[in-house]
Structure 1
Amino acid sequence: MLKSLIRFSIDHATLVLVLAGVLLGAAAYRLPRTPVDVFPELNAPTVVIMAEASGLAADEVEQYVTFPIEAAVNGIPGLRRVRTSSAIGLSIAFVEFEWGEDIFLARQMVSERLDTVREDLPPGTHAEMTPITSITGEIMLLAVSSPDGSVDDLNLRAYAEFDLRNRLLTVPGVAQVSVIGGELPEYQVLVEQEQLRLYGLTVQDVVAAARSAHSTLSAGYLPDVGHLELPIRQSGRVRSVSDIEGTMVKIHQGAPVTIGQVAEVRLGPALKRGTGSDGGRPAVIMTIKKAPGTNTLAITAGVDALLKDLEPNLPAGIHVNDEIFRQADFINLSVNNVVHALRDAAIIVALILALFLLSLRTTLVTLTALPLSLAAGVLVLEYLGETINVMTLGGLAIAVGSLVDDAVIDVENVFRRLKQNARLPASQQESRRDTIFSASNEIRPAMVFATLIIGLVFAPLMFLEGIEGRFFRPLGIAFVVSLLASLMVALTVTPALCSLLLNPNPDEAEAGDGFLVRILKDLYEPLLRLALRWRYLLMGAAAAATALTLWVGSTFGSSFLPEFNEGTFTVALFAPPGTSLRASDRLASSVEQQLLQLEGVASASRRTGRSE
């Protein structure tokens, strides 16, 4: 089969080169559209349930909210484990499924189980599933602040919560935007007990009236008024404090009693559960999270474009800082470093080939294996759902030195056979195609076996389980796919290019070895004789060096990942359970001020507590 493939490639060299060009074009078209990230997707399919139970202590939340939810979701097919966390007024459950489970099916099953337990939760408890996000989902932090202090915390949070957040959610790929800090505005009704007694009312009467103050119900329509269909619009929607103040509670002695007569109505801040700051100033911190499988760089570009469009129309006194944390900066740095390593490796390979072969044509034929193999690797990675990340690029970078091996072997043997054929009498010379076919087929078995053996070295990576498999498998896939692609290039494109570019009758300059090869041969011969003479001593030294290497290697430390210089540090402060938000804020603010005084610190932002 491979023999026929080589013959077909030589006989239809133009067609083979056209198909190779199509492969390069497809890779060039798809590469900018391939998702880019720091690491592969590492999290197993996980459904997160958040339940708000205002007023309950942490142990009550665990007993009456967390435990019923945990019991309800246990037993779902494909479930891996359930992790829960209970705090004052808040319960979080992480429902993890086995690798490979459909996240949408998992959410459907969790939703069905959650519906069965809602009635058993304490009154006023609100439980819902959070949007699907990635384990590396926090891609950007924004700080909304008022540098001149002209905008208060209430209006800062209102703009961030109700205006900017909704605009950010329109960017494709943004899964969630969490807001913390400032003061969340709400309508507050402060009942006056004396007025309630005066009119014979209770607090529940005021609550019921306030609840009915806002209505979004339709009022129907008039089917035919002057040949027109007229909708009837009701105005029972709250737009200001006065709308609530004017809401009637009851009729007392023939006169209506309104909420404004028995209570003070105002627009005030909700009870705070978290605070934020930027550069030591109070700020609203917005956390942008992405959906799994999306392109972090594309999402960041979309957010930047949105903020640029909004900048001229920002309310006076409000500033949005988008330089706090940007995962895209680290991705660009990491990917560029690997790309540079890939580029440098390709340049070094090209120089070595040129020095050894001393022929522009043979060097070009050999180097075609690099772009074609890498292009095939990129297309296969995209087909398998992998992203362009440090691991996939690392696999391609590792493979660069091996990608030209098969092509070098084939070109060198073809070139040698062409020189031998040129020295024969004219009557005994073969045609160029036959010579190239014989030369390529001659080294085919060794070339195929050598490539498969090298690929088998990375086979164990394909069978790793858990997070290790998710992390290292893309590296193995990238290496093996590009290596196998280089073998196919050596069996098809390389013979085709040899038939088109190589001279069937090399001149004397081309027929001899290059100067570098001659120097290396002159140096290698005495070294080889010396090694054969002292072979036992040499083997003993090699064994000792191997043993020493193993011993030194056993003294090294180990870690799952090396340290990464992202340009940012995350400092986590832990206070005793039950510490108030004011005390936590005071502690965190003190640390923030000290961090800002350190040399080299450009900025510092802070999130304390949680979002309301």
Structure 2
Amino acid sequence: MQDTNHHLSHDPTKSGVAKIIEWSVNNQLLVVVGMIALLLAGWIAVKNTPLDAIPDLSDTQVIIRTDFPGQSPQIVEDLVTYPLSTTMLGLPKTKDVRGFSMFGTSFVYIIFQDDVDQYWARSRVIEALSKIQGDLPDNAVPQIGPDATGVGWVYQYAVVDRTGNHDLAYLRTLQDWFLKFELATVEGVSEVASVGGFVKEYQVLVDPNRLRAYDVPLHRITAAVSAASKEVGGRVIEKGEMELMIRSKGYITNLEELKKVVVYAKSGTPVILSDVARVIEGPELRRGVVELDGEGEVVGGVVVMRSGENALTVIEGVKEKLEELKPGLPEGVEIETVYDRAPLIEGAVDNLTRTLIKEGIVVALISIIFLLHARSALVAIITLPLGVLAAFIVMSAQGITANIMSLGGIAIAIGAMVDASIVMVENAHRKLSVMAKDAPWEERREAILLSAKEVGPGLFFSLLIITVSFLPVFALTGQSFRLFSPLAFTKTYAMGFASILSVTVVPVLMLWLIRGRIRKEEENPVNRWLVSVYHPLLKLALARKWLVVIIAGILVVSMSVPLWRTGSEFMPALYEGELLYMPTTLPGVSITKAKEILAQTNRLIKPVPEVHHVFGKVGRADTATDPAPISMIET
């Protein structure tokens, strides 16, 4: 009696999972409603899940860029970078602070802990800046960088005029005052940075001999120019029934007005700016140059995507906006794409999507071949996309992008996801094949339910065991965690939902689809052939146990040789169709010489038959996300 009770207590058909299976069979309408809701929610999640090529490996960081014109790197370090860095070290949840000082510019990077929200971090930095602003030089104004990450450069373009009708200064003005503002309106764009060309400015070239002749000190020149372009507002006066505003007009709108600025008055005679200096319109000091196809300088634009946005959607929005703007461009001006991440994203996602479809087709064919029952194969075919869509629901809610790692996790899980369906269907076939053809529906229903309850609990827990196999990945930290966690998350979600579907949806689908004549296993020629091959091998292995163990051990050891010779890479290879060539010059190279080197290298690379475009950059773009010195060339 004790043995019988002991046996019954371990009867899988009496377990909690078996009760869930029975409940699902008895409440088919609720299961169907749940399936439909899962399909709709999953489809919405697929449409809303951000797409990118690879996971974002960037730390949570905030960049402070401070322009300190005309100052050497040492002065910038002492007066700007050091005070900012020491202040930012005291911020909560700060992991690291890095400062870089260059001629006229300071960059301070504040790296926060991984669990910190980016906008919380930015607000803390802004608070700290408000406290230290008074300790910085008057003409050193710190600015917060864009709310973007290190992979935010999703699209770059060049503004070109091959007709020669417009110079670089005009193209840069077009970029800064037209294209830049228009593209910034695209949803998801954090910043549009300019690089190359010439920024116009008024330049005052003081003649020391004239200063001496007029007895005018230099500081009066700077003070007069600084105070010249101002308007002073007054009150209002009433004239008749009208109210008139009083103001002193003083904004400088052209070069002639600047030349007439009074810098000094001696004995009632004014000395104007043109008396002591040449006033001209010239280019601002450049810290970046771009060149296209070895044909000469152009003006470039960099579209920086806001953190967490859908890269593909942002790029498509930028392209649409550029198409809208092209008809309004001056004659001869063209916009050429020089970097576009969209093909890489689409290629990676399409490749994995095709892989998922192929796996689904293979699963369907294998199921049909071994079961010889097309409708039974539909059980596995239907549950497969349900599990994938369910994984996308959690992905979307968690903010995980669809990339090669997250989709790779789903691809890995697909093979195991269909195991439960196939095993349960095969067990039902085994029971139904021995029943009479004219057996009543109730008997067939009970047989299918019993078959599901027999193997369902074991399959459920086996899938759960596979589900937790990737949990050690979550113990990683830093960039390793950010790279591999999407794969572990999606694989875990897909397997977890597959285990739930195996005890809820699969039994219901079996009742609906397993109809008609069910052949015995021996009637399948494929099964007969496999059994005929397997039985002798099994007998031989059991008769030569130690030999089998020794051979297996030798095979395992032999695998260490190719494993040891196999190289390793942190990132998977991405065949983007683009190469980045980054030579560096000696520090202190002039921008003229660096531009010459850039043009030479571009002219050498462009004739290569496989090369379509060569776009090179010297120095940095006008953005906090690019701290490159002039000695760095990027082609």
- Interval containing the TM-score (normalised by the shorter chain): over 0.9
- Tell me which residue corresponds to 1:466: 478
1:321 is paired with a residue whose SS is: strand
Give the counterpart of 2:543 among 507, 526, 533: 533
Residue 294 of structure 1 aligns to a residue in which SS? coil
1-structure distance, mates of 2:244, 2:25 = 79
What is the match of residue 631 of structure 2?
none
Aligned to 1:206: 221
Which residue number corresponds to residue 375 of structure 1? 389
Q: Which runs of 5+ in 1 are unaligned?
A: none
Instruction: Look up the match of 2:287.
Output: 273
Change (3 A) 1:98 1:344: same
C-alpha change, 1:425 and 1:143, in structure 2 (3 Å) is: closer
Deviations 1:438-490 (A, max 9, x none): 22111122112211221222111122111111110110111111111111111
C-alpha contact (below 8 Å) 2:460/2:500 kept by paired residues: no
Partner of 2:165: 150
Q: CA RMSD in A?
A: 2.4
State the SS of the aligned residue for 1:560.
Answer: coil
Is 2:574 aligned against 1:574?
A: no
Structure 1 contact 51–126 (Cα < 8 Å) conserved: yes
Q: Which residue of 2 aligns with 1:560?
A: 570
TM-score, normalization by structure 2: 0.90
Give CA deviations for 1:16-54 in whole Å, capped at 9, x if unaligned: 123212211222123122111112222221011112222
**333, 340, 346: which one aligns with 2:354:** 340
AA at the equivalent of 2:355 = A
Q: Which region of structure 1 is more displaced relative to structure 2, 536-545 or 189-198?
A: 189-198
One-letter code aligned to 1:524: Y
Q: Secondary structure at the match of 1:368?
A: helix
Question: Contact 2:460 / 2:502 at 8 angstroms: preserved in 1?
Answer: no
3-state SS of the aligned residue for 2:150?
A: coil
Asked if the contact 1:70/1:82 (under 8 Å) is kept, the reply is yes
Match of 1:165 in 2: 180
Q: Render the CA deviation track for 1:148-205: whole Å, top value 9, x for unaligned.
A: 2221111111111222111121111111222111111112223344554565533333
- 1:39 aligned to which of 48, 51, 54: 54
After superposition, where does 1:356-367 map in structure 2 within 5 Å? 356-367=370-381
Label 1:434 to 1:229 Cα distance change in 2 as closer, same or farther (>3 A): farther
Aligned-pair identity in percent equals 30
Matched position secondary structure for 1:570: coil
The alignment of Structure 1 onto Structure 2 pairs a total of residues equal to 606
Q: What is the DSSP-based 3-state SS (H/G/I as helix, E as strand, rest coil) of the residue aligned with 1:600?
A: coil
Q: Per the alignment, do residues 241 and 406 of structure 1 end up closer, same or farther by CA in structure 2, a change over 3 Å counting?
A: same
Change over 3 Å in CA distance of 1:229–1:341 after alignment to 2: farther
Query: Is the 2:48–2:396 Cα contact (8 Å) retained in structure 1?
Result: no
Change (3 A) 1:56 1:193: closer
SS of residue in 2 equivalent to 1:46: strand
Question: Pick from 278, 294, 310: which aligns with 1:295?
Answer: 310
Map of 1:598 onto structure 2? 608
Cross-structure match for 1:523: 533
Q: In the alignment, does 2:328 pair up with 1:328?
A: no
Cα contact 1:13–1:497 (8 A) shared by 2: no
Report what 2:406 is aligned to.
392
Residue in 2 that maps onto 1:76: 91
Q: Residue 229 of structure 1: CA displacement?
A: 5.9
Report the more deviating stretch, 438-447 or 248-257.
Answer: 248-257
Deviation larger for 303-312 or 447-456: 447-456
Give the letter for the 1:355 counterpart.
I
Query: How do 1:1-16 and structure 2 match up within 5 A?
Result: 1-16=16-31
Q: Residues 396 and 204 from structure 1, CA distance in 2 versus in 1: closer, same or farther, beyond 3 angstroms?
A: same
1:64: Cα distance to partner?
A: 2.8
Runs (5+) with no aligned partner, structure 2? 1-15, 623-635
How far is the alpha carbon of 1:395 from its aligned partner?
Answer: 0.5
Shift of 1:255: 5.6
Counterpart for residue 543 of structure 1: 553
Kept after mapping to 2: 8 A contact 1:285/1:607: no
**Given the two structures, how large is their TM-score scaled by the length of structure 1?**
0.93
Residue 564 of structure 1 deviates from its aligned partner by 2.0
Q: Could you tell me how far 1:377 is from its partner in structure 2? A: 0.5
Structure 1 residues 441 and 214: CA distance shift in structure 2, 3 A? same
The answer as to whether partners of 1:407 and 1:489 remain within 8 angstroms in 2 is: no
2:508 partner SS = helix
Deviation at 1:389, TM superposition (A): 0.7
| C-alpha distance after superposition, 1:200-243 (max 9, x if no partner) | 533333333322333366556568963x6666676433332233
Give the whole-Å Cα distance in 1 for the aligned partners of 2:498 and 2:239.
Answer: 77
**Quick check: 533-542 or 132-141, which moved more?**
533-542
The farther-off stretch of 90-99 and 261-270 is 261-270
The one-letter amino acid paired with 1:435 is: A
Per-residue CA deviations over 1:370-389 (Å, capped at 9, x if unaligned) read 11000001111111111111
Alpha carbons 2:232, 2:247 under 8 Å: kept: no
Q: Which deviates the most, 370-379 or 562-571? A: 562-571
